[in-house]
Copies of this chain bind each other. A is one copy, B any other.
Amino acid sequence: MAKVSFREQVLQAREDAIVDAVNRLLAEKGFDLMTVDEVVADVGIAKASLYKHFSSKEELAAAAMVRVLERALAELARLREQPGSALDKLKAVARWTMQVQLAGEMPSLPAQNSSLRAALTGHKLYMDRLLTLSDELGEWIGAAQADGSLRPDLPPEIVLYTLFARACDPVLALLKAGGQHSDAQIIEMLLTTCFGGLAGS
C-alpha cells in the first residue's frame, strides 16, 4: 500500500482541478482555441505553476483524454455487469458517448493538428487506454456480428470508428442549437439513424 502524504494529496487535487478546467475548455473551444492562460485563470494558479505539473499544452490535452477514456472504460465495466445482448451494450455505449458530449464534457481535439497527434501517439497512458477501449468494444462488435444483430458484412473497424465518431458528431451540436428537441430526444433519434440508418422500410 502506497503511503500518500497530505502534501501529495493536495498536489493531486490541484492536478485534478487543472484537468477539470482543460476538459471543459477543450469541450467548449477545442484544442487550437484553448489557451494555457485561460486554463490557469480558470484554476486560479500561475502559468509557471501549471508547467511544473504538465510539460506542454499537448500534455494537458492528453491528460484530459486519458481521463475521459477511463470514464468510458468504467462505463463499459458497468455495462458488462448488466443484462442485455452485445448489441444492447454497444447502443448503450453510443448513448453514453452522446450524453457526455451534450453535457459539455467531451474534449474535442482536431485530427489535423500534427504536433498534437505526435504527442498523443507517443503518450503511453493515452495509447494504452485507447487500445484497451478498442479491444473491449471489439469483443462486443464481434459477438454482435456473430449473432447477426450487427451487419456481419461490415469490417469491425468501421463499426468501431463509427461509434467513436458519435463522440464528436456535429449533428448533436446543430440539433441542440436548433432548440427544437430535448437532449434525450436528440440522442434517441441519433441512435436510430446510427443503428437503423436513414432509409425507410
Contact = CB atoms under 8 A, between A and B. Distances in A.
Contact of A200 (B150, B169, B174, B180): B150
A157 B190 CA distance: 12
A189 B110 contact: no
Nearest to A189: B158
Interface in A120-178: 144-145, 148-152, 154-155, 157-159, 161-162, 165, 168-171, 173-175, 178
A180 B194 CA distance: 23
Interface stretch (A9-17, A24-32, A48-56, A74-82): A24-32
A30 B31 CA distance: 12
A198 B159 contact: yes
Contacts of A171: 158, 161-162, 165
B161 A32 contact: no
Contacts of A170: 111, 161, 165, 168
A200 B161 contact: no
Interface of A: 28-30, 32-33, 87, 108, 110-113, 144-145, 148-152, 154-155, 157-159, 161-162, 165, 168-171, 173-175, 178, 180-181, 189-190, 192-201
19 contacts: A30-B32, A30-B110, A30-B113, A32-B32, A32-B110, A87-B199, A150-B200, A154-B198, A158-B171, A158-B175, A158-B190, A161-B170, A161-B175, A165-B171, A195-B198, A195-B199, A196-B197, A196-B199, A197-B197
